[in-house]
């Protein structure tokens, strides 16, 4: 073969490999579109959500514990609803669960980064990484500005290069809510959410955190896990609950 042709072919192969390794310019938009599709699909599923939260005293000893179980079901009229399974169990001595905590569990920690939220964030590519044999883009996501009364996310996504699905996220719900009154701070730990493949989409499977929060009354270590279990697509296997 002509050496010039060989050189041209080698250049084309190298160029194509480089181009394949580069993310699209509209990566964040594609991720948001994929998340919208994932959110629409997840809305057709029932599942159970188990929360366990532990607090530790200033000597590192276990203090109180909070546990609850919820399930997402479909009512007899076809509406989707969330309900508590039994009563929460709490022996917390220092922490208290707030409205923002429960909002973060539903909206921030299993974050669905959809198109309607995209305009509130700025994004920056941090490189790529292999996660559980999945080749991923690593995308930093930060609020453009913190808006009063709006809970947001500040952290990193790992995005499957094949279909732009988020398979892992790490970060923190913001803003931290500090108070000039002792004992009134409302702070939120750095967390990780891992997803699992359900059908063609990636749904939250586990959220966990082990962080020390800098309260005005002193630092406090907290640990929590949220497990999402028993995903079932609405249909023959789904649980139908009669309207009260």
Is the pLDDT score of 229 beyond 90? yes
The whole-number pLDDT of residue 222 equals: 93
Structure-token pair, residue 61: 């000893």
Asked if residue 11 lies in contact with residue 138, where contact means CB atoms within 8 angstroms, the answer is: no
How far lies 99's CA from each of 54, 67, 79, 151, in Å? Answer: 18, 16, 23, 11
The DSSP code sequence of 23-43 is PPTTHHHHHHHHHHHHHHHHT
Quick: pLDDT tens for 179-214: 666 666 778 899 999 999 999 999 999 999 999 998
Residue 76 host element (H or E): none
User: Which residue blocks in the chain are alpha helix, DSSP H?
Assistant: 3-21, 27-42, 99-107, 115-118
pLDDT band per the 50, 70, 90 thresholds, residue 177: confident
Domain boundaries along the sequence of the chain: 26-241
What gap in Å lies between CA 99 and CA 84, rounded to an integer? 15
Quick: pLDDT tens for 117-173: 899 999 999 999 999 999 999 999 999 998 877 888 999 999 999 999 999 999 998
Mean residue pLDDT across the chain: 84
What gap in Å lies between CA 92 and CA 86, rounded to an integer? 18
State the fold for domain 26-241: outer membrane lipoprotein receptor (LolB), chain A (2.50.20)
């Amino acid at each position: 073969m002509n050496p010039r042709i060989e050189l041209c072919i080698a250049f084309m192969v190298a160029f194509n490999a480089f181009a394949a390794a580069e993310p699209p310019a509209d990566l964040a938009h594609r991720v948001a579109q994929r998340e919208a599709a994932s959110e629409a699909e997840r809305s057709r599923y029932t599942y159970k959500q188990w929360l366990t939260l532990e607090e530790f005293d200033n000597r590192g000893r276990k203090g109180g514990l909070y546990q609850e179980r919820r399930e997402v079901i479909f009512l007899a009229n076809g509406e989707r609803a969330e309900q508590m399974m039994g009563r929460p169990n709490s022996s917390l001595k220092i922490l208290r669960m707030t409205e923002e905590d429960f909002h973060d569990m539903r909206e921030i920690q299993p974050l669905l980064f959809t198109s309607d939220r995209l305009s509130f964030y700025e994004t920056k590519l941090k490189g790529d990484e292999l996660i559980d044999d999945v080749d991923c883009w690593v995308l930093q996501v930060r609020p453009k500005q913190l808006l009063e009364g709006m809970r947001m996310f500040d952290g990193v996504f790992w995005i499957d290069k094949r279909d732009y699905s988020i398979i892992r996220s790490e970060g923190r719900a913001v803003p931290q809510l500090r108070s000039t009154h002792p004992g009134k701070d409302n702070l939120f730990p750095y967390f990780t959410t891992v997803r699992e493949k359900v059908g063609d989409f990636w749904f939250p499977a586990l959220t966990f955190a082990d962080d020390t929060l800098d309260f005005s009354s002193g630092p406090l270590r907290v640990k929590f896990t949220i497990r999402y279990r028993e995903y079932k697509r609405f249909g023959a296997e789904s649980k139908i609950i009669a309207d009260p």
